[in-house]
Amino acid sequence: MKDFFSLFWLGIRTYKDAIRFVGNNRLWHFFIPPLILSALILWGTWALDQKISKIDFSEVDSLRELINYLMKNLILASIVMMGYKLRKYIVFIVLSPMLTHLSLKTELLITGNTYKSDWAQFWKDIKRALRIATGNFILEYSIFAAWYIFILFVADARPLTPFFLFAVGCYFYGFSMMDYVNERRRLNIEKSVEFVREHAGFAIGNGFVFSAMFFIPYDIGVIFAPVLAVIAGTIGMHEIVDLNKNPYAQKD
């Protein structure tokens, strides 16, 4: 348990190091893609929300039209929900190429490590990041569904729901940040899962700050969270395993 809390604190502390790292290495331009993505998400969900709010069933003349109308607006409402509620995973998936590159660049600046830099390997890294993000999304919401079924039978556990769901989300977000490094350590996904499970405190700590930034008003956190999280994750992983000793790395 002591290791868990020390790793949890490491996951939080490295965000301060990440902010300093961005400033020292002039990496401010990495905030531009999340800024654009955040604006697009907000504008798109707001536009769809406005469209749904103008539903007028007086225009429907038949049962078939009513069903089509309801289905159309159900799809729009689902997209709005994804924009507002699932935007953390939207950020992960859309920004995977940039985050893969940023994690690699962070390690290079810290250790001088370089890796085989051909397009085949780069796309392999991106596909893995996408697979991890998508898989984590499915698994996380499966756990959410199982929890809601559980509290139907154990009502006393209902007050714990917000804390449980938040902690589960933090773990999966931190997992994604750690896996960028684990891929370069040539751990397959199964070994990466095992490693993250053994260092769950760090994953939850990293994901905790990442998730907390999404509570900043006007989605400002979306701009800073992914960049700082992946840099903090790489810095923390270096403290845990010493990336200088990675046998698959070359020195620049």
Average model confidence (pLDDT) across the chain: 84
Q: What is the pLDDT of residue 133?
A: 79
Q: What is the pLDDT of residues 16-35, one digit of tens each?
A: 999 999 999 999 999 999 98
Instruction: Summarize the confidence of residues 41-63 as an average pLDDT.
Output: 64
pTM: 0.82
Question: How is residue 11 written in tokens?
Answer: 């996951």
Q: Which residue has the higher pLDDT, 147 or 27?
A: 27
Burial category of 228 from C-beta neighbours within 10 Å (exposed 0-12, middle 13-18, buried 19 and up)? buried
Instruction: Summarize the confidence of residues 50-79 as an average pLDDT.
Output: 62
Say which residue the tokens 């698994």 belong to.
139
- pLDDT over 70 for what percent of the chain? 82
Q: What is the pLDDT of residues 2-20, one digit of tens each?
A: 699 999 999 999 999 999 9
Q: Which residues sit opposite 251 in a β-bridge?
A: 113
